[in-house]
Amino acid sequence: MTDKNSPVSGVADRYATALFELALQDSALETTEKDLGAVEALLDESEDLRRLAKSPVFTAEQQLSAISAVLDKAGLKGLVGNFVRLVAQNRRLFALDGIFRAFRAKLSSHRGEANAEVISAQPLSASHVAALKEQLNKVTGKDVTIDASVDPSLIGGLVVKVGSRQIDTSLRTKLNSLKIALKEVG
């Protein structure tokens, strides 16, 4: 996850804000959300496309040409297609993940929803996600959107972040706390 104070998060937030405002102005929030999901899926499916986005060895022209070809083949035109092309032209493809997250956060806030980032040691089942969502809805009083990811180093348990609040029930954290406690005793 990108650190909130890193330059990448600032870039991502500025681009996401611009995209959100354009989509809101055009009454195209749902379409933009769907199209961003399609771009995200393209990146998830292709190691080469991820390398193109992250690697500084490609020129802006090479990135723009390649991403334009991919977007054209996927049929992504309009606001999102033009936006991703602009991001490539400005050599900011490396920030796409952060832009996607920031856009979704702005969209959730606009809808009166809360966004929860949930990190687990193993993928969560649909029933676990539903139960977690129900509990988070009760706690926050809002409709919570869950962004789930997997980090096997947690060993077990969950890390849940909602706004500025974080609950860490991971086995890794508990073992680290136990290790510190045992060092103090010995």
What digits encode the pLDDT tens for the residues 93-137? 999 999 998 999 899 889 988 889 999 999 999 999 999 999 999
Round to whole Å and give the CA distance between 78 and 160: 35
The range of the structural domain enclosing residue 88 comes to: 7-106
In a domain, 1, yes or no: no
Which token pair is 99?
Answer: 């832009």
Which positions ≥6 away from 118 have C-beta within 8 Å?
Answer: 124, 129, 132, 146, 147, 148, 149, 158, 159, 160, 161
Q: What's the confidence (pLDDT) of residue 148?
A: 92
- The CATH number given to whatever domain includes residue 40 is 1.10.520.20
Q: What's the confidence (pLDDT) of residue 2?
A: 41
Percent of the chain predicted with pLDDT > 90: 83
Q: What's the confidence (pLDDT) of residue 145?
A: 87
In a domain, 97, yes or no: yes
Q: Which of 106, 138, 173 is the last residue of a domain?
A: 106
Confidence of residue 153 (pLDDT cuts 50, 70, 90): very high
- How many domains would you assign to the chain? 2
| SS3 assignment, position 119 | strand
In a domain, 2, yes or no: no
- Per DSSP, 92 falls in state -
Note whether 94 and 13 are same-domain residues: yes
Note whether 157 and 82 are same-domain residues: no
Q: What's the confidence (pLDDT) of residue 186?
A: 64
In a domain, 155, yes or no: yes
Note whether 11 and 97 are same-domain residues: yes
Q: What's the confidence (pLDDT) of residue 112?
A: 86
- The CATH number given to whatever domain includes residue 164 is 3.40.30
CB 13 within 8 A of CB 5: no
Strand partners, 143: 113
Note whether 80 and 128 are same-domain residues: no
Q: What's the confidence (pLDDT) of residue 5?
A: 43
Which token pair is 16?
Answer: 């996401």
Percent of the chain predicted with pLDDT > 70: 95
